[in-house]
Each structure stands twice: as structure tokens, then as C-alpha cells.
Homo-oligomer: A and B are copies of this chain.
Amino acid sequence: MFLYFRPYLSCHRHRLLLSTFLRNPNPKSSKPLLPCLLPHSIRRLSGQIAAMDATVDSLRRAVSEKQAAAEKQGEIVRAMKADSGASKLEIDAAVEGLKGLKAEVSALSAELQAKLAVDGSNGGGLSREAFREKVVNTLERRLFYIPSFKIYRGVAGLYDYGPPGCAIKSNVLAFWRQHFVLEENMLEVDCPCVTPEVVLKASGHVDKFTDLMVKDEKTGTCYRADHLLKDYCKEKLEKDLTLPVEKAEELKHVLAVLDDLSAEELGAKLKEYGITAPDTKNPLSDPYPFNLMFSTSIGPSGLSPGYMRPETAQGIFVNFKDLYYYNGNKLPFAAAQIGQAFRNEISPRQGLLRVREFTLAEIEHFVDPNNKLHTKFKDVADLEFLMFPREEQMSGKSSRKLRLSDAVSKGTINNETLGYFIGRTYLFLTSLGINKDRLRFRQHLPNEMAHYAADCWDAEIECSYGWIECVGIADRSAYDLHAHTEKSGVPLVAQEKYPEPREVEKLIIAPAKKELGIAFKAEQKKIAEALEAMTEKEAMEMKANLESAGEVEFHVCTLGKAVKISKKMVSISKEIKKEHQRVFTPSVIEPSFGIGRIIYCLFEHSFYTRPSKAGDEQLNVFSFPPLVAPIKCTVFPLIQNQLYDEVAKQISKSLTAAGISHKIDITGTSIGKRYARTDELGVPFAITVDSTTSVTIRERDSKDQIRVSVEEVSSVMKEVTDGQSTWADILWRYPTHSSGPAE
């Protein structure tokens, strides 16, 4: 179950309210109007951003003070001019003063504007948007991805991977299989995307997997309600230089709590700010929930509704019983699935990050809830990386480097198994080429988590869109198996057989139905149920009170009142029973990877430019590690020459046999141009044929070159692309080639 997209958060929130409802007959009164205000606004104000905001605030304050002063001075000037008693000298002085104030207003406004612009920049001066445009242009031009069905003007939120993008995706998935499935002996399954309604009813998606939508009342065009409110607030904050500080505070607050607003609250805000349809300025409908699943119908009758799965996890949960059996009825074990998932977004934005169809790779690691240790935790215990625990977020601090073993032993991370997967995820992402300084593990705040979850961490990667949730790692306790057990009637449970029977003390609460019936008539059933539902502590307290006082007050939630219970109405005792086994619903730890998001962040982290040799242009480079590079190497004859072409073809053949993807280019284009073209595809190695016996191998980022014999070249390539050796390992084994082919 993929936690990080907003819809799912909203789904969790709904479930949270639902559970509140079940336990509390009047949930409305217990829900604050703007819930979770504090943690969210604190989170948004953390660290550096808080400092930035402080400067902006003081500038705003200065602008409005000077503006007020200038207005006052203007009035003075007007009054002086109207009053014939003022001398020209006096008036000139006042006008000078006014000019000075106006100049100060515009200087401060310019400063404010500059500050707001920096807010969106990417450190090195290039704004985030400009950097993104450069990356995206390169990606589209080199067909890393293509807007789907482009010749028919495309469909928002649908993208194709073109040849290099497709190769990267398939490399990322192959490595995921090696790193997780093979390494952990996981049970991989492959379930259909078409899913009958009953399954997604049980999981909660049919009822709760929604976003709030508004419609243009005249044209019927649909918008995401929170997007409109967000755009309004951001626009005001970034562009309106006369915005009073108090108003700015309010808008920032709205942005902070945006995800938590109910339909009513969102509607009220849209009305309050006078927000209309962006394209037509027509009035908007009230917000209402829109289910994000693509719906369809299974079979020809039209009577079997189905959906395209919004995540792959449910396919694993419904198979739990078989998989547990396959694993020899032993815990722990993990199942995994890679596959397409679908979300019918209302209005997709953020390019490759929010799309309507995407590949998920999900793991469901089933454990005994009483034992969440992990035998291989020691393998990752010493890793140190950026974590952003709940406390740091709530106290306005930044993320910081923590040692994994400390985070688990201090209870920051709930348990070893969760910690193990956080560590393995860190290794996975950084092996792909994600910059470890722009990767953090952020713990969910209490209000972000579903009520049943024990602990959740997101791997967030920083890119031009900000910190993006790319992997969710959650301890979901027994929620999902419970839900399917209940709906299907098939118990999805595990057994632990005791080596020998155990004597267990059991609490027995036996309501005396006859006595209850005499005393309470029709209400007796609910009272009996409430008695049976008491915890051990409550029951033992009642027993003591009944013995001492003969009668107690007992609050029955389902009746919304207290009743008097006497000694003869219930018998409470403890009995010793023999048990041969324990039957329980396993907990599940769920690492869920959004493959498309990871790949997009990888594109941004790998992209850089460097001047061409002539210095007349900036050349684009993707610094993909060999593991993920779409093409591992190129084969170029230095000059057009039949002998060199033959050698190149021979090398190409042996590379193919070794399973190394490569590109052979025997056009006469200059070697520099050929390097530049393939640097832009992220090809890590270039083999240049400049003799019939040996060749040069050039590494993309360092541009270092070594000489290797024709016979050896494919095995050397195999070594560095398989990850058996690094370029550094190879470099000292072969002569470097300094007077190499001119680039």
C-alpha cells in the first residue's frame, strides 16, 4: 500500500475519522476545525526555510511601514499645496521627503521580490525551474521519455519511456530484484491489474480513495480544490509585495494545513478568498470527493464492477494463506511484487512525479507482532545517513545524520525489521546514483499515520520540486490481513505451535443474561456486549468494586449512558487453560517503491553540464553509474577505415555475447561530437578503435583513458558494468592513454 501520494494520506485521514467514529458516538464534536495545525506548520517552517521566512517577513513589514509613511507624507504634501500658507521651500522639502520614501519603498520591494525569487532557486544561482527545464529538455530530446500519444496531442499524466528511459527502468527493476527479492529470498508474485470491486471494498479504496474536486459551474471543467487554494496562496505570497505580514502568516498557515482540510473547510476558504475557475473566472461548485480509481466492468454482463488496481499490495494480501503455506508455514517471510498501478488524477501536474499510470515495486514482510527483530539487521546497523525523526520536525530542527543502530536502540525507529528495510532502501537508492546528501528518511507525524500503523518512514529525495516522497516504509501492523479476513471470511492467520502445551491464565467475563434482561429489557444485549469488551484492567477493577460495594456504575458507549451493574449480573474470573498453539494475525512491514519517481530524481541528480573543448557551448552529461546506465559503452572507430570498422564490429559482437548493451557508431562524425552525444545519454564508457590490436577506453566523467587489447576489452567491460570492479580498480591495471584521440 503506497503511502506517499496525497490521496492515500487523505484516505488514512478518513479511516482515522472512521475509527474515531466507531469508538465515539459523537465524532464531530471531537474534531478540531483545523486539525493538526501545530505539527504541520512547524514542519513547513523548519531549519533554513524558517530563517528565509523571517527575512521575508521583516521585509514585508518594512515595505508596509514605508508605504504607510509615504502615504502619510503624500497627504502632508497635498495639504501643504492646498494651504496657501505653505512656502515653496517648505513644499519642495516635503516633496523631496516623499520622493525619498517612495524610493525606499521601491528599493525594499525590489529586495523582497529578489528574496522571494531566491526561495525558488537551486543554490547555484540557476533557479529550480530553469534547472528543471534544462534537464527535461534533454530528457525529451533524447527520448528518455515521451508524452504518450503525442501525435494525438497526448493525455495529461501519461508518459512513455523511450529507449534510454526504458533501459534505465529495466536496469533499476533488475537491480531491485537482485537487491531485495534474491538477497532476502522473497516470494515474488505477479497479479493482474484488473481487480474486482470486493477486494478494493475490503481495502477501503472504494469508499475512501478520493481527492476533493470542484467544477466550473458553467463549463463543467474540473479542478482539484486544494490545488486552486494552494495556487492562490502561493501566488499571493510570491507576487503580492504589499501583502501585510498578518495576511502572509494566515496564507502560510493555510498552506501548512492544506492536506488536512475537510470538504467544508476547503469550500469555505475558496469562498472567503473569492477564488474562481482559473480559465474562465466563473464561479465554482462546492468541493466534493472524486474516487481516483479507473473503473471498468469485468465480463460482458455489466454486473461485475472492477477497477484498475491503485497499488500492487492487495494482490499479496489476498494470497497470504498460500504464500505462508509455500514458506513452510513459517514466519517471518516477505512477498514482493513489481507492476503497474493506476490513479485517475483529477489534474496531473509535476511532470513525471504525478502520473496516472506508474510502476510500483512493493514488499510485504510478514512478521510475528511479538518479534520484530531481524537476523540481518547487523549488516546495516552501522550505516549513517540523514534522518528526520518526528521530534526534529515538531521542534523546528532540520534532518540530521544518525546511525541506524542508534535510531533503533533508542526507539526512534520502532523496530529492527523496519530499521533493516530503511537501511536496505538507503543502500538501494545510493547504489542507483541518488545523492546521499539529498536523500533523507522522514518519519510520519502522528497525524499523518493511519491509526493502525505502528511507525512510518518515507525516503524523500530532494529535486527541483522540493523533497519528494519516493519510498514509503511502514509498519502497518495487522490491518490489511484483518480487513481481508473480515470481508472474505477466510482467516489470514499464522500459528505458532508450542513445543509443549502452555498453561495460560484467561479472563472470563460471563454476563448473566437473565438478570440483565429483567433489569434492562431491550438494552440488555448492548450492556452484555460492553461488559464482554472490557479490558483485563477494567474487569478486575469491576470485580473488586462489586465485591466491596455490591454494585457499580458502568458507562455503556453504545447506549451513551451509565447503568448500575449488580454482583449477580456478571461473573468475572480467571481460569487456567492449556494451549497448544498461538493463532495470530501477522504484522506487515511494507516498503513500497515508486519506481518512476526514483528514476526522475535520479535524472536530476545525475545531470550536469561542462564546457565543450572549444569552450563555445555547455555540454550536457548524465553521470549514471554503470549499473543503471541505459547503454554501457560505445564502440567508435577513430576514423573511417575498413580495418577499424571490422575491429569495431568484432568488439560489438563479443559485447553482445557478454550481454552488454552498447552502441556502435561507424559514421565519420568527429570523435568529440560522438563523445558529447553519448555523454548526454549517460553512457559511462567509450571504446575507441585506433589500431587493430588495442583500443582506448574512456571514462565519461573523468575523461581518463586507458589502453586495452582488443581481446580483453569485452571482459574488462563486463567487469566494470557488472559491478565486480570499479573504474578506479581498472585504471591502475592498464596503461593510461594521455595523447589519446582528440576530443
From residue 181 to 220 of chain A, which have CB atoms closer than 8 A to chain B?
182-183, 185, 187-196, 198-199, 213, 220
Tell me the A residues contacting B by CB distance below 8 Å. Answer: 143, 146, 148-152, 155-156, 158-163, 165-167, 169-170, 174, 177-178, 182-183, 185, 187-196, 198-199, 213, 220-222, 290, 294-301, 304, 306, 308, 315, 318-319, 321-323, 326, 328, 340, 342, 344-347, 356-357, 484, 487-488, 490, 492, 656, 659, 661, 663, 667
Given contacts A148-B192, A149-B199, A185-B663, 15 further A-B pairs with CB under 8 A are: A149-B195, A150-B319, A152-B488, A160-B191, A161-B189, A162-B189, A163-B187, A163-B189, A166-B188, A166-B189, A182-B656, A194-B294, A297-B344, A300-B346, A340-B340
Do B299 and A296 have beta carbons less than 8 Å apart? no
Taking a contact as CB atoms under 8 Å apart, the answer to whether B300 and A151 are in contact is no
Q: Are A221 and B301 in contact (CB under 8 A)?
A: yes
Nearest 6 Cβ contacts at the A-B interface: A161-B190, A151-B488, A163-B187, A151-B490, A222-B300, A192-B357
Tell me whether B322 and A162 are in contact (CB under 8 A).
yes
Known: A187-B163, A296-B296, A344-B299. A152 touches B199 (CB 8 A): yes
B296 with A156: CB separation less than 8 A: no
Q: Which residue of B lies closest to A290 (CB)?
A: B300
Given A150-B322, A151-B318, A199-B149, decide whether A301 and B192 contact each other with a Cβ distance below 8 A. Answer: no
With A166-B188, A340-B340 known as contacts, the answer to whether A319 contacts B160 (CB < 8 A) is: yes
- State the Cβ distance, A96 to closest chain B Cβ, in Å: 59
Q: How far is the CA of A443 from the CA of B120 in the complex (A)?
A: 63
Pairwise interchain contact A322-B143, C-beta atoms closer than 8 A: yes
Provide the bound-state CA to CA distance between A160 and B322, in Å: 12
A450 to chain B, nearest CB (A): 23
Cβ–Cβ contact A193 & B196, under 8 A: no
Question: Least Cβ distance of A680 to chain B in Å?
Answer: 13
Q: How far is the CA of A183 from the CA of B654 in the complex (A)?
A: 11
Report if A344-B162 is in contact (Cβ < 8 Å); known contacts: A357-B192, A357-B193.
no
Contact among B143, B158, B295 with A296 in the assembled complex (CB-CB below 8 Å): B295
Listed A/B pairs (12) with beta-carbon separation below 8 Å = A143-B323, A146-B189, A151-B318, A151-B484, A152-B198, A152-B199, A158-B192, A160-B319, A166-B190, A185-B663, A194-B342, A294-B298
Contacts of A158 in B (CB 8 A): 192, 194
How far, in Å, is A219 (CB) from chain B's closest CB? 10
Task: Say whether B298 contacts A296, CB under 8 Å.
Answer: no
Given contacts A196-B152, A301-B222, contact A190 B160 (CB under 8 A): yes
Residues of chain B within 8 A of A298, CB atoms compared: 155, 294, 344, 356
Asked if A188 contacts B167 (CB within 8 A), the reply is: yes
CB distance from A162 to the nearest CB of B (A): 6
Residues of B contacting A166 in the complex (Cβ-Cβ under 8 angstroms): 188-190
Cβ contact within 8 Å between A165 and B190: yes
Residues of B within 8 Å of A165, CB to CB, are 190
A390 to B46, CA, bound (A): 75
A490 neighbours in B (Cβ, 8 Å): 151
Closest to A178 in B: B659
The contact of A659 among B146, B182, B357, by CB within 8 Å, is B182
Report B-chain residues with C-beta under 8 Å of the C-beta of A322.
Answer: 143, 146, 150, 162
Q: What chain B residues lie within 8 Å of A199 (beta carbons)?
A: 149, 152
CA distance A207 to B345 in the complex (A): 28
Q: Complex: how many Å from CA A169 to CA B148?
A: 27
- CB of A260, distance to nearest CB on chain B (Å): 22
A414 to nearest B CB, angstroms? 28
* A739 to B344 alpha-carbon distance, docked (Å): 64
Are B177 and A170 closer than 8 Å at their CB atoms? yes
A338 to chain B: closest residue by CB: B170
Instruction: Name the B residues within 8 Å of A160 (CB-CB).
Output: 189-192, 315, 319
- For A195, list chain B residues within 8 Å (CB): 149
Instruction: Say yes or no: A300-B344 contact (C-beta < 8 A), given A160-B190, A178-B659.
Output: yes
Would A193 and B340 count as touching, CB distance under 8 A? yes
Given A191-B148, A322-B143, A156 and B299 touching (CB < 8 A)?
Answer: yes
A726 to B678, CA, bound (A): 37
* CB-based contact B294/A326 at 8 Å: no
A297 vs B345: C-alpha distance when bound (angstroms): 11
A221 to B299, CA, bound (A): 11
CB distance from A326 to the nearest CB of B (A): 5
**Residue pair B661, A182 in contact (C-beta under 8 Å):** yes
Interchain CA distance A663-B196 in the complex, whole Å: 34
Q: Give complex CA distance A167, B152 in Å.
A: 38
Chain B residues contacting A304 (CB-CB under 8 Å) are: 155
A434 and B15 alpha carbons, distance in the complex (Å): 51
A656 / chain B contacts, CB cutoff of 8 Å: 182-183
Contacts of A192 in B (CB 8 A): 148, 158-160, 356-357
Q: Find the residue from A163, A182, A199, A346 having the highest chain B CB count within 10 A.
A: A163
Q: How far is the CA of A296 from the CA of B656 in the complex (A)?
A: 42
With A177-B170, A191-B160, A659-B178 known as contacts, the answer to whether A321 contacts B222 (CB < 8 A) is: no
**A185 — which chain B residues lie within 8 A by C-beta?**
663
- Complex Cα distance, B306 from A149, in Å, reads 12
CB of B146 within 8 A of CB of A319, answer yes
Which residues of chain B are near A488, meaning CB under 8 Å?
151-152
A308 touches B296 (CB 8 A): yes
Task: Please indicate which of the listed interface residues A149, A151, A191, A328 has the most CB atoms of chain B within 10 Å of its own CB.
Answer: A151
